Amino acid sequence: MKKVLDKGYVRLVDVMGSDLTIVNAARVSYDKESHELNGKDERLINFLIREGHTSPLRHASMQFEVYAPLMVARQWWKQVVGSDHTMDAWNESSRRYISEKEEFYIPGENEWRSKPANSKQGSGEPLNAVEGLPFTAALMSYVEQGEKFYNKAMNCGIAPEQARLFLPAYGMYVRWYWTASLQSVLHFLDQRLESDAQKEIQDYAKVVEEYVIEHYPAVYRAWNKSKGEINNG
């Protein structure tokens, strides 16, 4: 489990396949199989990614448990449903059925960012702690008030699926399982490691990237090299 933000985390639950899985999926057309990764195999992986022959990447998959603010979860989900790389599954905890402890992401006084000067999305320069302090205090007060009304509704017998309306949504932590093919994971990293992605989801993407490096090092090297070639091209 790797910590992210103040209370969040990413946990790798399961992995199917390895660099060798991708190599053998590509070579099955020629009735070939490798039993130990070698230089020739790595050159094949480089070729597949460089030329966009990425279907073999769908024979490997990763399963994560993620705990993140709702604003991060919904951006993440956009990448899943917006991808044609299939092999994705998403199951999220629901306050219709459970009443787990409410937790919220509250930026510290030195973590607020200004709006960008020349864009409708993203962030500009960070605010200093003096400027950020009243916003941290105001958000804490807002969260406390929402929790108060939520608990009152629950204690009065309101259905949990309606009582949750009182909880401030965007900063509330939610938990989910995400199972995706390696191709889909790399697609997520392509989108969410970019400098114009929201910083909070970048932080989560960097942790997912660490797990990819650990379990698919040859694929990661080829993917990273391909990104560099595109950027320099």
Q: Tens of pLDDT along 114-131? A: 887 776 667 878 899 999
* 218 vs 94, residue with greater confidence: 218
Region 49-58 average pLDDT: 92
At residue 67, does pLDDT exceed 80?
yes
Question: Who wins on pLDDT, 119 or 64?
Answer: 64
Supply the pLDDT for residue 93.
Answer: 73
Task: Please state, in angstroms and rounded to a whole number, the distance separating the CA atoms of residues 188 and 202.
Answer: 10
> What pLDDT does residue 92 have?
72
> Torsions phi, psi of 198, nearest 5?
-60, 135
Which is the catalytic residue, given 11, 43, 50, 192?
192
Planar angle of CA 203, 3, 211, nearest 5 degrees: 70
HEC readout, 64-77:
EEEEEEHHHHHHHH
| Residue 58 token pair | 């769908």
* pLDDT at residue 84 greater than cutoff 70: no
Q: Mean per-residue pLDDT for 40-55?
A: 93
* 74 in active site: no
Tens of pLDDT, residue by residue over 160-177, are 888 888 998 889 999 999
Closest CA to 103 of 76, 140, 74, 152: 140
Mean pLDDT for the chain? 88
Q: Tell how far CA 215 is from the center of its chain.
A: 17
Query: Which neighbouring-strand residues pair with 177?
Result: 65, 91
Structure-model confidence comparison of residues 145 and 102, the more confident one: 145
Residues 6+ apart with CB under 8 A from 9: 1, 2, 3, 66, 67
How high is the pLDDT of residue 99? 64
Query: Does the model's pTM come out above 0.85?
Result: yes
